Structures are given as C-alpha cells and as structure tokens.
C-alpha cells in the first residue's frame, strides 16, 4: 500500500491524453512526447493516460508500461516533474486490475483510474461493484480514482451513495471522475467528502463551470487535448470571481466539446495534427481513422477555441 494513500490529486486541469499511432498502428512515441510537452506548457495539473480517449482497451501490457514511462521521462527531462500522472487501470477482474496498478506504479504513475468491471454487466449490481472496489483498495499499491462513465461500461452508473461509502471506508480511494455529467451527483459527493482527502472531478469540458460551482476539484477534459490553456484560464476566472467572463468562455468550450464528440477519438487526434503539426488521426482498429471531411458545424466551434488558445501567451 502507498505510505500516504489519502492524498488526492491537486486541483486543476487534467488532460486525458490521446494515444498517437503510426500508420501501421504502432505507438508514435515522438508525437506523444510532443503532445505531453504542449500540455505541460498549457499549465495542466496532471495527465490521464490510458483512459477512454487513450484507447486503453487497445493497448497491451508492455505498451502501457512503455507509454507511462515515456510520459514520465518526457516531463522530468523537460522541467515538469510535478505534473501528476493518473493512469487507467480498470480490468474485468480484481486480479488484472491490481496487476495494471502495479505495472503503472513501477512505470511512474501517481494514481490509478479504475472503471467498474463491465463484461458481466447483468451481474454488476451495486453491492458487486462496491465489493470490487473494496477488494482492489485493500491490495492497491497506489491510490486511485473511481471512473464513472456509463457510455463505456454498458450503462453502469455508480451512485453517489456508493461513491461516498467507498471513499469513507477505503483511504486508497482518493477521487472520482464523473463523465456521466451528473452535476447533482458531483455536488452530493463533494459536499460529503473533505476536499483535502477526496477529489470529485468533472469528466467533460461541457459542464466544467457548473461543476466547479458544485465543488469539482477541477476537470478531466478531452477537449484539453486541443486547448489546455483555455481550460486553465476558465479555472483562473472562476477562482478570481469573474463569473461573467467564465460563463462566456464556458459557452465556447461547451460548443467545441459537443462538436469534438461528433468526430470521435480519431477525430480528436486528427484535429490536433492539423492545428499543432504532430501526430495523425490514426486509431487502432476497429476505431479507424478520423473523418476525411469535417462539417462546418463541427469545425467552426473548434476553430474558435483553437484560435483563442493560440492567442494566449
């Protein structure tokens, strides 16, 4: 067990990194390193590796270890050792989840991020899911966050009651990523658990500002792959009490987030490549490549926030 398992990740912006591949579907470590540095320069508090946007189900164990080690080395060698690494470690069994946690820790991770098991969806009642997390927490080599994303778990949606009780009982559970978009759930969790011991995090740019009002510890946002500085700016505006400017920026981020969702994970990578000059829109099959053409209603909101990102010093 980690010697200090009840310290949550710090408040801030976390980018769930996309994983760049070459045309032959091998890891493009050069583009990944360039992406990591741009995120670091965008003042993110941390990086989420091997999440949904990182195509975790498509990566082998050795590739996962190499990826984490590459990100850690890139940050350290370029003067960003304080940026936290949260690594996706969810699996269908407690045994493999613990193995992923161990491998990620050895490669340089600070925290794990764990989806509920979803293969046997019909059998995943609340008690079964809670026991899964308790069993993982009892043997975990590092602290971790619960990952609630019904869209990738066959509709499994962990309740605030389960999250709160698990966090209170298990010091290794230090946060939750709520991609479900339920701000009421975030409010209940944040109000029930001390901020110094638990981080309830919004899981999308789309509701970042409302989530901050509800007690979010920051945001884990796919759109930050494009515009990390804008997300950092939104948090700054909120903390400074400039609600009018924060609402205006949130509107732009919400529209861009919705547009980006329509292009898929490969589309995120293609948009990064087109605007920042590294990587390509290649994903491992069956996801395929980014769209050949992007409709104006998709490109317009994204172009707007990219232009704003590039205008920030």
Cite the annotated binding site by residue number: 220
Going by the DSSP 8-state scheme, the letter that residue 225 receives in this structure is: G
> Is 133 among the residues known to form the active site?
no
**CA 298 to each of CA 168, 249, 263, 273, 294: distance values in angstroms, whole numbers, following the listed order:** 42, 18, 8, 16, 6
Collapsed DSSP state (helix, strand, coil) of residue 219: strand
Going by the DSSP 8-state scheme, the letter that residue 75 receives in this structure is: H
The answer to whether the CB of 35 falls within 8 A of the CB of 67 is no
**H or E stretch at 189:** helix 183-192
**Both tokens assigned to 20:** 């760049």
User: Half-sphere exposure of residue 207, counting CA atoms within 13 Å on the CB side?
Assistant: 19
d(CA 8, CA 125): 27
> Is 147 among the residues known to form the active site?
yes
Collapsed DSSP state (helix, strand, coil) of residue 199: strand
Query: Residues forming the annotated binding site for pyruvate?
Result: 220
d(CA 163, CA 140): 17
Q: Which of 34, 147, 185, 270 is catalytic?
A: 147
d(CA 257, CA 204): 8
Q: Which of 72, 177, 204, 229 is catalytic?
A: 177
Annotated catalytic residues are: 147, 177
């Amino acid at each position: 067990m980690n010697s200090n398992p009840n310290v949550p990740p710090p408040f801030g912006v976390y980018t769930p990194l996309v994983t760049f591949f070459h045309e032959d579907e091998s890891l493009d470590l050069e583009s990944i390193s360039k992406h990591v540095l741009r995120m670091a320069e965008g003042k993110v508090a941390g990086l989420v590796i091997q999440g949904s946007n990182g195509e975790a189900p498509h990566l082998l164990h050795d590739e996962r270890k190499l990826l984490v080690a590459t990100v850690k080395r890139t940050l350290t060698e370029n003067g960003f050792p304080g940026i936290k690494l949260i690594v996706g470690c969810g699996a269908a069994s407690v045994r493999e989840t613990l193995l992923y946690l161990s491998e990620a820790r050895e490669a340089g991770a600070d925290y794990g991020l764990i989806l509920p098991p979803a293969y046997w969806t019909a059998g995943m009642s609340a008690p079964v899911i809670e026991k899964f997390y308790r069993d993982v927490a009892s043997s975990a080599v590092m602290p971790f966050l619960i990952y609630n994303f019904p869209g990738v778990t066959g509709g499994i949606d962990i309740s605030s009651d389960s999250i709160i009780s698990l966090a209170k009982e298990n010091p290794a559970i230090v946060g939750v990523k709520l991609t479900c978009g339920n701000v009421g759930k975030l409010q209940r969790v944040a109000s029930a658990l001390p901020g110094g011991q638990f981080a309830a995090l919004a899981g999308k740019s789309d509701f970042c500002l409302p989530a901050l009002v509800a007690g979010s510890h920051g945001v884990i946002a796919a759109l930050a792959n494009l515009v990390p500085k804008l997300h950092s700016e939104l948090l700054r505006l909120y903390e400074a009490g400039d609600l009018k400017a924060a609402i205006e920026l949130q509107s732009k981020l919400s529209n861009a987030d919705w547009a980006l969702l329509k292009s898929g994970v490969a589309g995120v990578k293609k948009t990064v490549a087109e605007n920042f000059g590294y990587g390509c829109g290649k994903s491992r099959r069956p996801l395929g490549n980014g769209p050949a053409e992007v409709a104006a209603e998709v490109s317009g909101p994204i172009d707007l926030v990219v232009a704003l990102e590039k205008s920030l010093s």
